[in-house]
Amino acid sequence: MTRVPLRPLARILEARAHGGDPDAIERENKQRRHEEMRDRARLRAEGRLLVLAAMFFCAFVTVGVRMGMLSSSVPSEPRAYAPGAQISQTRADIVDRQGRLMATNFVTHALYAEPPNMVEPAHAAAELARIFPDLEEDKLLALFTGPRKFLWIKPQISPEQKQAVHDIGEPGLLFGPREMRLYPNGPVAAHVMGGARYGEQAVQAAELIGVAGIESAFNDRLSDPARAGEPLMLTLDLTIQAAVERVLAGGMTVMNAKGAAAILMDAHTGEIISLASLPDFDPNDRPSPLTTGFDPSESPLFNRAVQGVYELGSTFKIFAAAQALEMGLVNPNTMINTRGPIRWGKHRINDFHDYGAELTVSDVIVRSSNIGTARLAQQIGAANQREFLDRLGFTKPTAIQLTEASGSQPLLPSNWSELSTMTISYGHGLSASPLHLATAYASLLNGGTRVTPTLVRTGPVAPGPRVVSERTSAVARDMLRQVVASDHGTASFAEVAGYQVGGKTGTADKPKPRGGYYDDKVIATFASVFPTNDPKYILIVTLDEPVVTILNEARRTAGFTAVPVAAEIIRRVAPLLGLKPEIEQPGPLGVTLTAN
């Protein structure tokens, strides 16, 4: 038992001494303390009750004021609001190197239905099926009378269609404004633009997402609201792109090719002025990829210039010649044994024509001798060749800013043997994209500094690391010029008056899917540089399975197919590029002074 102290002790002791009742004193004391405590508690409670009353009163007044504010605000059509992140509708424009519009946004409407609000679902379904022939009335009616409260009908409709739907007068059919991605140039530069689709959709807005090409590679940059007002400037030139595509399409028809690709690159900066792949598509209405029973590389969506990995044939020969020059193994006039065929195990290396016992290095290139090039490659050696091709960029996918580029890993021989060295020297046994070839030609011929291909203007580009010496580069250009200018050259059709075109043809038999090569299917390539005295531009033209009948003879070699197409492209675009033709002056005009 706890003992409670006796209080007040003095009085109790006194009472005890005088025989009084200490309990009564204690009770009285307790009673008094109790009363005091209650009084204290009551006073405190009085204050706190007042506080509580005031707080509740204020709270009620707050609710009342807020009600009043809400009631007096104008009822407006509630605006859409998605919890969390607001859908960013803005997407920056894309322009060409002169600021001309290549992709922009355009306000359009999506059509959706709220079946619970529908008055005449049957009528609405019938009218919709009439306005949009791809919709089926039965399915629409089933949806409108089903349990769904909300359904999208069309992601974007034209103003005429919107008016027609509006005229149905059905309150359950509604429009959600949204921006669509518009490519005002249609299919021009389709593979670079790629295309866009809707991502997250709300009633009042929809997010645009790039699906391919530059739209996909720069999706974050384009959809960044902070940079929405700042267009993305490409290195493409819209006029030149259109001209290249038009000439290439004509050439593809004339040469009966099933596909074609062209790349026009600034030789010093790696900027791509034009990149075309045919057949193409309209990014405004991007076709869905065919998934079955179809070779994806035959699809219009396939970017042959970037994704297509081909054996590029004799265009590679200049690399062997340049490397041999750079290593000091030969000079342009060194005689090379071209007696063939070279037998290597069960393989034989042959030339298209028999060029006799010996040719100079220059003539090996000009006449395109496989045997001569293979001899050069033997002198160079596998390791050196591999290292050189690596410096030119042939061992890695290109760094171009297209999502498709990451898939363009060149096909290298699994075992880089001496035989591989010899076949690679004339462009067989190593597959790479036309863009790889353009990059390598630019690096080799611009004076010898490595370029990185780019599609986006970022200001002045510093020259890359040196690949070959200026001198080797100049000699290589001279050899390529001879290929075009010389009587024996394989690319004599490439001569364009006023522009010193140099280049190398390449005709590679297409590999069969199950091994071996077709006899009658080739990839014809012409890799060119112009003007050769002051290298400014690299042009690669590739035709897939071209065949042209000349004098009752089917011609497939690049000299008859890719070269004329490339020459026509240069003829068209060189003036657009601002290149001044060098016309030989016929001497000073004879002035006859006459005097009366």
Which residues are known to be catalytic? 314
Q: Which is nearer to other proteins, 13 or 80 (CB)?
A: 80
Q: Which of residues 188-217 bind other proteins (CB under 8 A)?
A: none
Residue 570: both structure tokens together: 């240069």
Tell which positions 80-99 bind other proteins, by CB under 8 A. 80-84
Which window, 64-72, 332-340, 365-373, 453-461, contacts other proteins (CB under 8 A)? 64-72
Options 9, 13, 24, 53; binder of other proteins; rule CB under 8 A: 53
Q: By CB under 8 A, name the one of 16, 38, 258, 348 that touches other proteins.
A: 38
Residue spans of alpha helices (H) in 73-104: none
Looking at 9, 13, 16, 64, which residue binds other proteins (CB under 8 A)? 64
Omega before 279 within 30 of 0, i.e. cis: yes
SS3 215: helix
- Residue among 16, 42, 148, 488 that touches other proteins (CB under 8 A): 42
Provide, rounded to whole angstroms, the least separation between the CB of residue 132 and other proteins. Answer: 26
Q: Candidates 79, 346, 353, 514: give the one binding other proteins (CB under 8 A).
A: 79
* CB-CB contact of 260 with 304 (8 Å): yes
Smallest distance from the beta carbon of 310 to other proteins, in angstroms? 50
**Which of 46, 200, 390, 534 is close enough to bind other proteins by CB under 8 A?**
46
Q: How far is the CB of 266 from other proteins (least distance, A)?
A: 49
In degrees and rounded to multiples of 5, residue 102 shows phi and psi of: -115, -30
- Residue holding tokens 């959709």? 201
- How far apart are the C-alpha atoms of 509 and 448, rounded to whole Å? 30
- 344, containing H or E segment: strand 342-344
Please pick, from the candidates 9, 13, 24, 45, the single residue that binds other proteins as defined by CB under 8 A: 45
Q: Which of the stretches 12-20, 44-52, 314-322, 485-493 binds other proteins when contact is defined by CB under 8 A?
A: 44-52
Residue type, 184: P
Q: Is 518 in the site for other proteins (CB under 8 A)?
A: no
CA 442, 312, 299, 292 torsion-angle sign: negative
Residue in 189, 198, 201, 202 with CA at minimum distance from that of residue 235:
189
Residue-wise burial string across 190-228, b where 16 or more C-beta atoms lie within 10 A, e elsewhere: bbbbbbbebeebbbbbbbbbbbbbbbbbbbeebbeeeeb
Query: How many residues interact with other proteins (rule CB under 8 A)?
Result: 43
**CA 590 to the chain's CA centroid:** 57
139 lies in the binding site for other proteins (CB under 8 A): no
What does the alpha-carbon distance between residue 355 and residue 343 come to, in Å, rounded to a whole number?
Answer: 17
* Burial (0-12, 13-18, 19+ Cβ within 10 Å), 486: middle
Does position 107 interact with other proteins (CB under 8 A)? The reply is no
Residue 73 within binding range of other proteins, rule CB under 8 A: yes
Look-up of token digits 């306005």: 131
Query: Is 71 or 288 the residue whose CB approaches other proteins more closely?
Result: 71
Residue 507 tokens, joined: 């005709």
Among 4, 17, 589, 591, contact with other proteins (rule: CB under 8 A): 4
What is the residue type of 183? Y
Question: Which stretch, 69-77, 389-397, 459-467, 522-530, contacts other proteins (CB under 8 A)?
Answer: 69-77
Interface residue with other proteins, options 9, 24, 37, 142 (CB under 8 A): 37
48 binding other proteins? (CB under 8 A):
yes
Range in contact with other proteins (rule: CB under 8 A) among 26-34, 315-323, 324-332, 454-462: 26-34
Binding region for other proteins (CB under 8 A): 4, 30, 32-35, 37-38, 41-42, 44-46, 48-50, 52-53, 56-57, 59-64, 66-68, 70-76, 78-84
